[in-house]
Chains A and B, each alone.
Chain A
Amino acid sequence: MTAAGKAAGKGADQAAGKATSKAADEAAGEAADEAADEAADEAADEAAGERAAAAPHREASNLLTDLFRDSLDGGYAAAAKRRKASGRPEPPWRRRTGLGARAIALALFGFLLAVAYQHVVAGAAGNSQTRADLAAEVAQRRADADKLARDAEGLRDDVSKEREQALAADPELLRLRDLEARTGLARVQGNGVIVTVSDAPAAVDPVTGRVDPENLGRVLDRDLQAIANALWQSGAEAIAINGQRLTATSTIRAAGEAILVDFRPIARPYMLAAIGAAGIDKRLADSATGKQFKRFVENYRMVFEIKARDGLTLPAGADPGLRYATPPPSAPPSGPASASPNPSGSRR
């Protein structure tokens, strides 16, 4: 141990033992005599720490009590004392200036209040206005999209009518219509099955009457996917969920609480209509998925019904849109359909 270290230890011991400033001074003095300055500093620090520990949290509690007790600015009392001490009344110019400054400050305060009030009111109005505008725009756009979809369907009907007239004698027409039905490009009719799925009724606590937020019998997007796949497997030739035709590129997804089919939200109860060969309902019920959902009904009270239905009509699916083919720059001569193959050249 060095001399400095020893001195520090000695000083600290003494300071701790007596815990007075005198001890600290003595220790500092001794340390300075014996060794380097750092030792003295350390000893003094040690003693100071000891003293502070003797009065715990004095500053902290002072701050709070001051805050609660002396809420009035100390300046008022000080100014009053000054006035009393001087003993003279204020000169009139000073009075007038003070009055003016007070008036200006209060006017500013009133102005501030009015501005803040108007700001808050305007902000609230702006927020609700924005939300209403957005909702209106969404509704407007949705209506536009529906109208365009209806237009497209009508035009597609026209096209297929024209084509039927043009190809009346062609045996390819049957194959074409079959393909259109299978790919969801055309409206189809037939006998089939309707599967109704819905959430289990929310569990209500019989004592408190509170609704259990966790519903295990909720229908998820996965469930609809499984049922749709089971329907295809059972021989369905066309499926529509709540009137939305499924095609080869359809998606069934969840977005938050809602289920989207082809990015359009669908609402409960979910009705899957499928057209297929007779007995499709039996095949679906006997499939693994059908049995699984029967268990869901028993265990979680989910709604799942399979009903055979005759004379179903399923709408055409969303237009797939052409990705690579573009119309030729100049309009082709609109002559009668000749024997030339169709532009895509799929016939080999």
Chain B
Amino acid sequence: MIAVLALAAGVVLGLVFKPTVPAVLEPYLPIAVVAALDAVFGGVRARLDGIFDDKQFVVSFVSNVLVAAFIVFLGDQLGVGGQLSVSVVVVLGVRIFSNVAAIRRHLFRA
């Protein structure tokens, strides 16, 4: 319950304050969203599996976002551009898919 409320509060804050993204952080935004999605779906699945752990969730959320941003940064610095971030999207995308599939199995038994 508190989780849904916090999520809603975050969305409302974002919509109300309309923060402008600094140009420096712009390239990291999409990949950070994907990484955060992965952590959140992982947390939901763990919750349904009955093994949710707050510390694990928070740590994985923060580290996912940071590592994804770092990989994008590294790709920029090495001059390979978006190619490194493709790996992030692939790995996290696969994880999101299978976590969502597990959630679906929990919820619909199918």
Residues of A within 8 A of B (CB): 67-68, 71-73, 75-77, 79-80, 83, 97-99, 101-119
Contact = CB atoms under 8 A, between A and B. Distances in A.
B36 A99 contact: no
Highest count of chain A CB atoms <10 Å: which of B2, B7, B52, B59: B7
Given A79-B55, A118-B18, A73 B49 contact: no
B91 interface: yes
Contacts of A113: 10-11, 14, 33, 36
21 contacts: A67-B91, A71-B94, A72-B99, A75-B59, A76-B49, A76-B52, A80-B51, A99-B54, A101-B55, A103-B2, A103-B3, A104-B6, A108-B36, A109-B61, A111-B10, A113-B14, A113-B33, A114-B11, A114-B13, A115-B14, A115-B21
B51 A79 contact: yes
B89 interface: no
A98 B3 CA distance: 12
Contact of A110 (B11, B21, B54, B102): B11
Given A71-B99, A106-B6, A117-B14, 8 more contacts: A67-B91, A76-B52, A77-B51, A80-B50, A98-B58, A99-B2, A99-B54, A102-B2
A119 B11 contact: no
Categorize the interface residue count of chain B: 35 or more
Contact of B42 (A67, A73, A83, A99): A73
Given A79-B51, A115-B14, A102 B94 contact: no
Contacts of A115: 14, 19, 21, 29
Nearest to A78: B56
A64 to B, nearest CB: 9
Contacts of A111: 10-11, 13-14
